[in-house]
């Protein structure tokens, strides 16, 4: 193997390693961005609850059983971690937190 081929092989390997590192970092960050699931024993009041509704993402007010908004995103296309969190329900404390999570799931 001459020097050019050797250098090309090293650069290709480094590129693949860098790409894999970025994919893992983005995936980990996405999984950590989901808020905690609903704790029914909790005494804190939340502003919104995001959870699975008929295979889509429903946004609920805490006192309502029907969503006030349904996002078009089918939860089956989301990572399993997100699907589990949505089936359990995700408590959101503010409109800002809600908008951030909508962007994560539907953006």
The CATH number covering residue 41 comes to 3.30.70
User: What share of the chain has pLDDT > 90, as a percent?
Assistant: 50
28 and 49 co-located in one domain: no
The whole-angstrom separation of Cα 104 and Cα 99 is 9
Tell me the pLDDT tens digit for each residue of 31-59.
Answer: 555 555 555 445 558 899 999 999 999 99
82 and 67 co-located in one domain: yes
The tokens describing 51, both together, are 């959870």
The pTM of the whole model exceeds 0.75? no
59 and 84 co-located in one domain: yes
Number of folded domains in the chain?
2
* Contact residues for 58 (Cβ-Cβ < 8 A; gap 6+): 50, 51, 52, 67, 69, 70, 71
77 and 46 co-located in one domain: yes
5 and 40 co-located in one domain: no
pLDDT greater than 50 at residue 99 = yes
78 and 97 co-located in one domain: yes
53 and 73 co-located in one domain: yes
> Residue 99 sits in which domain range?
36-106
């Amino acid at each position: 193997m001459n020097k050019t081929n050797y250098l090309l092989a090293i650069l290709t390997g480094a590129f693949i390693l860098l790409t894999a590192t970025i994919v893992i970092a983005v995936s980990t960050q996405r999984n950590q961005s989901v808020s905690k699931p609903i704790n029914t024993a909790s005494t804190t009041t939340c502003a919104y609850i995001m959870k699975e509704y008929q295979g889509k993402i429903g946004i609920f007010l805490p006192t309502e059983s029907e969503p006030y908004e349904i996002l078009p995103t089918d939860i089956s296309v989301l990572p399993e971690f997100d699907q589990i969190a949505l089936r359990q329900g995700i408590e959101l404390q503010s409109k800002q937190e809600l908008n951030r999570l909508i962007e994560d799931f539907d953006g």
